[in-house]
Amino acid sequence: MIEIENFTKVYKLSKKQRLELKTRNHIRKAVDGVSLLIPKGEIFGLLGPNGAGKTTTLRCISTLLKPTQGSIRVCGHDTIKHPEKVRKKIGFLTNEIRMDPDFSAKYMFEFFGHLHGLNDEVIGERRKKLFSYFEIEEFQNKKIEQLSTGMKQKISIAVSLVHDPEVIIFDEPTNGLDIVTARSVTNYLQLLKEEGKLVLISTHIMSEAERLCDRVAIIVNGKKVIDGSLEYIMDTTGTRNLEDAFFNLYLQYTERGKV
Amino acid sequence: MNGTKYVIQKELDRVFKDKKLVFSLFLLPAVLMIGIYLLMGKLINIMVTDVQEHVPTIYVQNMPDGFNSYVEQLNFPGSVIYFYGENVLTRTDEGEKIISTEEIKENIRSGRIDLLVVFEEDFLNQVENYEEGSIIPEIRTYYNPAEDYSEEARNKFMELVINKYKTYLLAKRIGDLNQIMVFDVDRDPAASYVMDETRANAKTLSMMLPYLVIMLLFTGPMNLGIDAITGEKERGTLASMLITPMQRGQLVLGKLLALSILSCLSAVVYSVSIIVGLPDVQKVSAVGNGTVRIEPVQMVWLFIVMVVLVYLYVTIVGLIAVLSKSSKEAGSYISPVYIIVILSGIMTMFAGDFTVDIGMFGIPVYGSAIAIQKITTNELTLAQFGVNVISTVCISAILTIFIIKAFNSEKVMFNV
């Protein structure tokens, strides 16, 4: 389970950043008072426009960043007090995190397996399973720098799952993938959910969120404007699909100045 | 510490699985260094031999009677042309030609003639008819001190001809020279040498080795450190390790120890290159018989001093690398540090033989340079060694702690 309570993330702005953003404020609230409860066995979507605070939220859950206020607990462990315990439980994937291009997929998989404390036998089994599913076997010994964007993304996904984590956090999981591979990734996320894992994704593709997610939260300008099941959101906004619901809320909350 | 082990393994694999990197980091520098030192040695040898073997061209104006016969008897190795007056018939590339004294001086300036010796007119008469209180005659020499041939010609002519001619004339005037010599000094000059053979033989080495070692040990961390930390930050590959259960301290130690191992290997390559290539250079400037012996204990201390110095360099480069936002920025900060390192080594070249205060061995980098200098003459004491090693280790430990703190800082790692 992921428990986020009144989570706020504030950044101090440098002089250069204030000039770029054309603001006199010395701080910027990337995330403001977000609370969420995400149980196991669910695919939860975090939706929002660019700069809404989704990636910041995911980074704080994964312990890369620390909340300024509030708390985040993953499987009962606080991200500030016990970050190593949190990292043991999660698999995290985001565009800014890349695999070392000088090594092969097989090498990186084994390397991260060892860093997660797995022995060679377990790593071998996990590699067979994941490389087979994501069709990585044919290029597993090639250097990552020689591979296409899609191949690199598949390798990143496989490596992030090397230790069979309880919580999977993916930021734009199908980014750069062809339609067939994207479907295999989303199918795998469904499998993980059926295994009782918690899957938290962030995506811009509303159709993907609609097809995949059990519940979603929409974040606009750092604030959570709504969270719940898709039916609940569409009923609340009086819309027929998630994309319309999203735009309805976006316009509502930016026009009326509620955020 | 398992995380540290796997990070070290990965960093070493990054280098040794890349043939191009192995070639450019280890093989090419060794080949270049050996080549450069061998070439330097050869060129210095050629230059020195060339000057010594050059047959000088010397013009002598207004020579006294019998002077040419005297020079022949001495078998002076040179071409000596005698003339009277202002002009002389001489052979040039264009054939025979009459040249003036001014033209001779012009040729000395341009390096075509090496020396002009001018006796005063009536020189011998003045010498033979000297009376107490009268002005003695002068011999003027004209040469170009900026030209090696000209300077060598003058020195040789003075030593082998003029000084002996003076002694000859003096003997003619006085008879028994011992009446004015009174006493001799050092009839056997070689017997006067009371030197420590080790110090004498190591003179060149003790001047050059600290500078070379101090400078070369820095090149490994400088070449590898920026990419290992700042480069990985830029590429996003460092963040992938930050979301594993491995503690940040383990990651930092893994990076720093791997860099130290690679830098030490690089240093070994450079050291072997120096040992192979330097003797040719040292032969020319050796004071003793050229053989350098370092005692086994001092060799062990040299190894330890170098290893801890490498780790200090790695932590300095590591701290700069982690605090920098880009590889370019890191490079611009490391350049002045490199200059300071080179200066520390150069300062030992001019330190001379003065006694070094034990506190100086505690100064980072410079202390290691003077420790290495003392090792070449087997003079480093246990106390001096201890001060240097402990100081270097403590500073490295403090820098390591700062690097770990930086790895824990989201502002440093993610530029937020």
Torsion of CA B174, B178, B179, B180, to 10 degrees: 80
The residue from B156, B183, B210 where one domain ends is B183
Distance CA B305, CA B13 (A): 27
Q: Which residue in A82, A93, A111, A160 has the most chain B C-beta atoms within 10 A of its own C-beta, making it the best mutation to test that interface?
A: A111
Residues B179 and B226 in one domain: no
Per-residue pLDDT, averaged over B1-5, amounts to 84
How far is Cα B55 from Cα B153, in angstroms, rounded to an integer?
A: 8
Neighboring chain A residues of B243 at a CB cutoff of 8 Å: 62-64, 87, 90, 92, 97
- Give the dihedral sign, CA B276/B280/B283/B284: negative
Interface contact flag, A87 B18, Cβ < 8 Å: no
Please name every residue paired with B115 in a beta bridge, in sequence order, or none if there are none.
B58
Instruction: Let me know: does B181 contact B274? Beta carbons within 8 Å.
Output: no
DSSP string over B56-115: -EEEEESPPTTHHHHHHHHT-SSEEEEE-SSEEEEEETTEEEEEEHHHHHHHHHHTS--E
Answer whether B184's CB lies under 8 Å from B271's CB: no
What integer best gives the mean pLDDT of chain B?
A: 85
pLDDT attached to residue B272 = 76
Question: Could you tell me if A117 lies within 8 Å of chain B, comparing CB atoms?
Answer: yes
Contacts of A103 in chain B (CB under 8 A): 10, 13-14
| Interhelix angle B327-349/B296-323, nearest 10 degrees | 150
Domain-located, residue B264: yes
Contact call for A111 and B246, based on CB within 8 A: no
Find the closest chain B residue to A83 by CA distance.
B245
Measure in Å the smallest separation between the Cα of A175 and chain B Cα atoms. Answer: 17
Residue for token pair 């499987």: A75
The residue of chain B nearest to residue A94, with distances taken between CA atoms, is B240
B174 plus B218 within the same structural domain: no
- Nearest chain B residue to A157, by CA: B240
Tens of pLDDT, residues B121-169: 889 888 888 888 888 889 999 999 999 899 999 999 999 999 999 988 8
Dihedral sign for Cα A143, A144, A146, A147, please: positive
Residue at B113 is within a domain: yes
Total beta-carbon pairs less than 8 A apart between chain A and chain B: 69
Convert A136-165 to b/e letters by CB count within 10 Å (16 or more is b).
beebbeebbeebeebbbbbbbbbbbbbbbb
pLDDT-above-70 percentage for chain B: 91
B246 and A115: CB-CB below 8 Å? yes
Q: What is the DSSP letter of B203?
A: H
pLDDT tens track for B27-63: 887 888 788 878 888 888 888 888 888 899 999 999 9
Integer Cα distance of B226 and B234 in angstroms: 11
Residues A259 and A223: beta-carbon distance below 8 Å: yes
A2-255 to CATH, choices 3.40.50.1370, 3.40.50.720, 3.40.1350.10, 3.40.50.300: 3.40.50.300
Q: Tell me the mean pLDDT in the region B59-69.
A: 91
- Per-residue model confidence as pLDDT tens digits over B213-227: 888 889 889 888 999
Verify that B215 and B311 share a domain, yes or no: yes
pLDDT level of residue B395 (50, 70, 90 thresholds): very high
CA dist., res. B280 & res. B16, Å (int): 32
Residue B288 binned pLDDT confidence (cut-offs 50, 70, 90):
very low
State the pLDDT at residue B174. 81
Q: Which of B159, B183, B207 is the last residue of a domain?
A: B183
The answer to the question of residue B189 being in a domain is no
Q: Between β-strands B95-100 and B87-92, what pairing exists: parallel, antiparallel or unpaired?
A: antiparallel
Name chain A contacts of B18, Cβ cutoff 8 Å.
Answer: 102
pLDDT digits 0-9 by tens, B17-35 = 888 888 888 888 788 878 8
On whether residue B70 sits in a domain, the answer given is yes
Q: Taking the model in full, what pTM does it have?
A: 0.78
Tell me, yes or no, whether B114 and B233 share the same domain: no
Query: Distances in Å between the alpha carbon of A214 and those of A4, A202, A232?
Result: 18, 13, 11
Among A65, A100, A116, whose Cβ lies nearest the Cβ of B244?
A: A116
Q: Which of A85, A97, A111 shows the shortest C-beta gap to B236? A: A97
CATH number at residue B164: 3.40.1710
- CA distance to A98, B82, B121, per residue, from B63 (Å): 89, 7, 8
pLDDT for res B293: 67
Contact A102 B18 (CB under 8 A): yes
Residues of B in contact with A106 (CB under 8 A): none
B321: buried, middle or exposed (CB in 10 Å: 19+, 13-18, 0-12)? buried
Give the pLDDT of residue B117. Answer: 95
Decide if pLDDT at B90 tops 90: no
Residues B39, B114, single domain; the answer is no
Which of B237, B220, B162 has its CA nearest to residue B10? B237
Q: Where are the domains positioned within chain A? A: 2-255
Whether residue A52 contacts residue A219, with contact meaning beta carbons closer than 8 Å, is answered with: yes
Q: Which residues make Cβ contacts (< 8 Å) with residue B50, sequence separation at least 6?
A: none
Mention every residue, 6+ apart, whose C-beta is less than 8 A from residue B217.
Answer: B263, B267, B306, B309, B310, B313
Per-residue pLDDT, B201? 59
Please say whether the beta carbons of B240 and A99 come within 8 A: yes
**Residue B92 and residue B32 in one domain:** no
pLDDT at residue B284 is higher than 50: no
Say yes or no: B150 and B275 in one domain. Answer: no
CB-based contact (8 Å) between A28 and chain B?
Answer: no
pLDDT tens string B227-242: 999 999 998 899 999 9
Residue B96: pLDDT band with limits 50, 70, 90: confident
Question: What's the Cα-to-Cα distance from B360 to each of A52, B303, B357, rounded to whole Å?
Answer: 57, 20, 6
- Chain A residues with CB under 8 Å of B6 CB are 111, 114-115
Residue that terminates a domain, selected from B183, B216, B234: B183
Residue B386: inside a domain, yes or no? yes
Which ranges of chain A have pLDDT less than 70? 255-259
Give DSSP secondary structure letters for A108-151. Answer: HHHHHHHHTT--HHHHHHHHHHHHHHTT-GGGTTSBGGGS-HHH
Q: What per-residue confidence (pLDDT) applies to A52?
A: 86
Same domain, B223 and B137: no
Asked if B59 and B18 sit in the same domain, the reply is: no
Residue A91 is encoded by which pair of tokens?
Answer: 């698999």
Number of domains in chain B: 2
Residue B87 to residue A219: CA distance in whole angstroms: 104
CB contact under 8 A, B243 and A62: yes
B239 touches chain A (CB under 8 A): yes
In a domain, B99, yes or no: yes
Does residue B193 belong to any structural domain of this protein?
A: no
ipTM: 0.88
**Within an 8 Å CB–CB cutoff, is residue A11 touching chain B?**
yes
Same domain for B403 and B280, yes or no, is yes
The answer to whether B325 faces chain A, any CB pair under 8 Å, is no
What integer pLDDT is reported at residue B198 of this predicted model? Answer: 57
Containing A240, the helix (H) or strand (E) segment is none
A159 neighbors A99 (Cβ within 8 angstroms) = yes
Residue A132 confidence (pLDDT): 93
Same domain for B168 and B249, yes or no, is no
Confidence of residue B278 (pLDDT cuts 50, 70, 90): low
The CA distance from B110 to B104, in Å, is 10
Q: Do A115 and B245 touch (CB under 8 A)?
A: yes
Pairing of strands B139-142, B115-119: antiparallel
Q: Judged by CB atoms within 8 Å, which residues 46-85 of B form the interface with A?
A: none
pLDDT at A81: 93
**Widest Cα–Cα separation across chain B:** 104
- Kind and range of the H or E run holding B190: none
CA distance to partner chain A, nearest, from residue B202 (Å): 45
Domain with B366, as residue range(s), is 2-46+198-413
CB atoms within 10 A of CB A167: 22
Q: B366-376 and B382-407 are packed helices; what angle lies between their axes, rounded to 10 degrees?
A: 150
Condensed to tens digits (0 to 9), the pLDDT of residues B158-208 reads: 999 999 999 888 888 887 777 777 777 787 877 777 766 655 556 666 777
On whether both B34 and B109 belong to a single domain, the answer is no
